[in-house]
Amino acid sequence: MDLSNPTAENVSYMIEKIKEKLRMVNVDAMKAENFSTSQYEDLHYMYEMVMKRETITPNEMQAIAAELGSMRN
């Protein structure tokens, strides 16, 4: 998938992949429609960082969730 363009489809894809990787329980808090393309670069950076990690500690998971929460509309 080409994630170089800030589209709603790419935002949705990245949010879904981050939720899968983090095995988030409260998926309702991370609906793709709550994110806009205006923060695409930040979201893409977060996506890249999460996907590169083999494991994510509980503290890192909390920090990632908090950061994503601050990006929501």
In tens, the pLDDT along 20-43 reads: 888 865 666 678 888 888 989 999
* 3-state per-residue secondary structure call for 21-64: HHCCCCHHHHCHHHCCHHHHHHHHHHHHHHHHCCCCCHHHHHHH
Query: Is the Cβ–Cβ distance between 32 and 16 less than 8 Å?
Result: yes
Query: Is the Cβ–Cβ distance between 62 and 70 less than 8 Å?
Result: no
1 falls within a domain = no
48 falls within a domain = yes
Please give the residue that has the higher pLDDT: either 2 or 30: 2
Question: How many Å separate Cα 35 from the centre of its chain?
Answer: 9
13 falls within a domain = yes
The domain in which residue 19 lies consists of 8-71
What is the count of structural domains for the chain? 1
3 falls within a domain = no
Q: How far apart are CA 58 and CA 63, in angstroms?
A: 9
